[in-house]
Amino acid sequence: MKIFIDTAELDEIKRAVSWGIIDGVTTNPSLIKRAVDRRKGKISMEDYIKEIVKASPGPVSLEVIGRRANEMIEQGMLLHEKFSPFGEVAIKIPVNPSMNDDENIDFDGLKAIRRLSSEGIAVNTTLVMTPEQALLAAKAGAAYVSPFAGRIDDYIRANMGMRIGEDFQKGDYLNHDLLRRARDKILGDAMASASSVREIYESRLINSVADQGHDNGVYSGVDLVARILRIFRAYGFKTEVIAASIRNPRQVREVAELGVHIATVPFNVLKGMIKHYKTAEGMRRFMDDVVPQYRELFMKKKEL
């Protein structure tokens, strides 16, 4: 599995690259702006992006801001022309640029993906929230699709009445297995008193419970990634899946177990992946066990 670092902070990118585990970078305009602002006019946004592209060992995803196909195509070509001389660039295109305000542009993202891909420009399809969207992006020729695992976890919890910052924190793991077990337990209890299949099928209570803990049959962000991978493998799509909106190390492990092509990981999550209490405890014991005679093996020989 490739690891892309999800940040616009150049120092974080360079530090992570120095660890020898980074294969690319994903970012967005807001993160870039904050990073540039922290430098208080010492560098322009364009030059800062060039530095990111230079520092990355693989593709850097850069985002368009248009919503109509012609705008996104023009902007994508401009970004590629401007920054690809400095390294590898992928253009981020939203799978659906509509904000429910104009159904006429629902498919403009796919149009842009098709055109840019036909020009040999790698497209990273962003804001993918369903396997259906991922399927359409792959058919349009996207090099990458980015399902937003963390945001789907938040959405599922919100649909159960849970509030971020109160009932759960942004980095909290969604225990989808426990959710399924709880839902199935309540469903089983509710069905036990029914006398017919029709009664079960028409019960408002049972249907209400059945609709909880998932998003149209997707039980978590990790489950979303799994379903996309299953579809792509079934039909031989070459489009790579980037597990995006990763919130914690356990999510990284779970998408890796699925065989996802890429995970894009924030710097703080990346640091969390290397840590474990017992590893630190073991190191303390190892160092306590080092006797002077063994330490001398690593000392340079004195010149005669």
**CATH number, residue 123:** 3.20.20.70
Range of 151's domain?
A: 2-164+217-276
Establish if 29 belongs to a structural domain. yes
Establish if 206 belongs to a structural domain. no
Establish if 260 belongs to a structural domain. yes
Question: What pLDDT, on a 0 to 100 scale, did the predictor assign at position 300?
Answer: 76
Question: What pLDDT, on a 0 to 100 scale, did the predictor assign at position 302?
Answer: 58
Establish if 196 belongs to a structural domain. no
Query: What is the full per-residue pLDDT of the chain (304 aa) written as tens digits?
Result: 999 999 999 999 999 999 999 999 999 999 999 999 999 999 999 999 999 999 999 999 999 999 999 999 999 999 999 999 999 999 999 999 999 888 899 999 999 999 999 999 999 999 999 999 999 999 999 999 999 999 999 999 999 999 999 999 999 999 999 998 999 999 999 899 888 999 999 999 899 999 889 999 999 999 999 999 999 999 999 999 999 999 999 999 999 999 999 999 999 999 999 999 999 999 999 999 998 888 888 887 655 4
Question: What pLDDT, on a 0 to 100 scale, did the predictor assign at position 144?
Answer: 98
pTM: 0.93
Question: What pLDDT, on a 0 to 100 scale, did the predictor assign at position 286?
Answer: 93
Establish if 256 belongs to a structural domain. yes
One-letter identity of residue 51 = E
How many CB atoms are closer than 10 A to CB 79?
A: 19
Domains contained in the chain, number: 1
> What b/e readout covers 284-299, taking b as 16+ CB neighbours within 10 angstroms?
eeeeeeeeeeeeeeee
DSSP states of 41-57 as a string? Answer: TSS-HHHHHHHHHHH-S
Longest dimension (CA), the chain: 96
Find out whether 32 and 63 touch, Cβ atoms under 8 Å.
no
Q: Where are the alpha helices (DSSP H) in the chain?
A: 10-18, 29-37, 45-55, 69-83, 108-118, 131-140, 149-159, 176-192, 197-202, 204-210, 221-235, 249-258, 267-273, 277-288, 292-295
Nearest to 88 by CA among 125, 53, 47: 53
What is the token pair recorded at 17? 């690259």
Establish if 192 belongs to a structural domain. no
Establish if 285 belongs to a structural domain. no
Strand partners, 123: 91
Active site residues: 92
Establish if 292 belongs to a structural domain. no
